Amino acid sequence: MYIPLLLSFAVFVSSVVAKQCINVTAPVSISARNGVFNIPTLQGNADATTFVQNLTSIRGNFTEEALLDYTTVSGSYNISAKFCKPDTENGTNPTVQVLTHGLGFDKTFNYSYIDVAVDHYGYCTLSIDRLGEGNSSTADPLRVLQAPVEMSALYEITMMLRNGSLPHVPQAFSKIVHVGHSFGAQLSYQLVVMYPTASDGLILTGFSQNGTFLATTTASWDSKLARLNQPLRFGNISYPAFANALSMLGVSPSNLTPNIAEGLSPFNVTFGEIQQILQTTDLANFLAGAQLSQLPHMADLPSGYLTWTDAGSNQFAFLLPQFFDPSILQFAESSKFPFTL
């Protein structure tokens, strides 16, 4: 219902033929009151399952049971962001939208939204990699990467936009709208609760005050250690060593999937079954690291970084059957990012 309305409205808005985008890295100093939790270090995937069982149990409140105390956490980190503006800005006081993604993704989650917001409506946008995700700094997954710290980072980025100190964006914005999805919506909402003047507007998607669905969603992920689920991206398997081993077999990483498919073809396996094996199983997640650009700072992540297990878990949480392109699911699964305890 909303898409036709949006498109019809766009006819009456002066469209912008192109946009200018730059990647920026913003150093932030954060300080937040985090919880101190009695949660043992996860040693393997079975421990990840136990953690989620405890977290979603109806027998009690695991968060309260594990909480020992509170402490102030401070530190300096880098937040990676992409700033976009229209070639021709609307007026001398443009509005900037700060886009914050949810769990399991990075700032590329917002790219199609940016095309519409900037090209058709003339907004500026700043899409960020949340702390611990994408090209932003990593940090201790239990002690540091909690909601108060992430909200503190979002506040610092917002203040840089307010006072014109964001690197490579020499402009102060008096109108800032925060756009958040899922956990990003929760952070944006909490930002205006803590700092009512920080934002001039909120757009929240994948957000509800009713959290009864959360346990089902969390359990459906069947969470694994990210370093074991996609070891070439998040584990300690050296990608160069892996590529060298393949080259000794006459195979390049970019051709690994076709070679596996060819190797399975003599067996009693249909082409459709081969596709399912290569796209929806643990093997698919292993192969993902051979197909994607590597982020060295995301390698060898601590065991407190988790991810959902496979494409089926991804679909259950985010995609409604018959309303998505299967290739979108394959891409989303291969390029996913971890979340933390």
In the predicted structure, residue 89 carries a pLDDT above the cut 80: no
CB 290 within 8 A of CB 284: no
* pLDDT reported for residue 279: 78
Tokens 């690291």, residue located: 289
d(CA 61, CA 55): 8
Is the model's pLDDT at 278 over the cut of 90? no
pLDDT of residue 188: 98
Q: 195-229: per-residue pLDDT in tens?
A: 999 999 999 999 988 888 889 999 999 999 999 99
Identify the pLDDT of residue 1. Answer: 39
* Crossing angle between the packed helical segments 239-248 and 282-291, to the nearest 10 degrees: 90
Q: Is the pLDDT of residue 14 over 50?
A: no
pLDDT, residue 9, reads 33
Residue scoring higher pLDDT (118 or 289): 118
| pLDDT tens sequence across 167-188 | 999 899 999 999 999 999 999 9
- Reference 16, options 71, 90, 94; nearest CA is 90
The residue type found at 91 is: G
| Averaged pLDDT score across all residues of the chain | 89
In angstroms, the first-to-last Cα distance of the chain is 37
Backbone angles phi, psi at 262, to 5 degrees: -65, -40
pLDDT of residue 11 exceeding 70:
no
Mean pLDDT to the nearest integer, 37-47: 96
Instruction: Please tell me which residue, 251 or 28, carries the higher pLDDT value.
Output: 28
Nearest CA to 145 out of 32, 47, 69, 253 is that of 32
91 has pLDDT over 60: yes
- Is pLDDT at 85 greater than 80 in this prediction? yes
> How far apart, in whole angstroms, are the C-alpha atoms of residue 341 and residue 319?
24
pTM: 0.88
pLDDT over 50 at 13, yes or no = no
Instruction: State the residue for tokens 């985090």.
Output: 34
Q: What is residue 257's predicted lDDT score, i.e. its pLDDT?
A: 73
pLDDT higher than 70, residue 296: yes
Tokens of residue 199, six digits: 């934002």
Please report which residue ranges of 223-281 form alpha helices under DSSP H: 226-229, 231-234, 239-248, 256-264, 271-280
Per DSSP, 130 falls in state P
Share of the chain above pLDDT 90, in %: 67
The predicted pLDDT at position 259 comes to: 77
pLDDT one-digit tens code per residue, 220-264? 999 999 999 999 899 998 777 777 887 887 777 777 777 777 777
Q: Residue 180 and residue 150: Cα distance in Å, rounded? A: 13
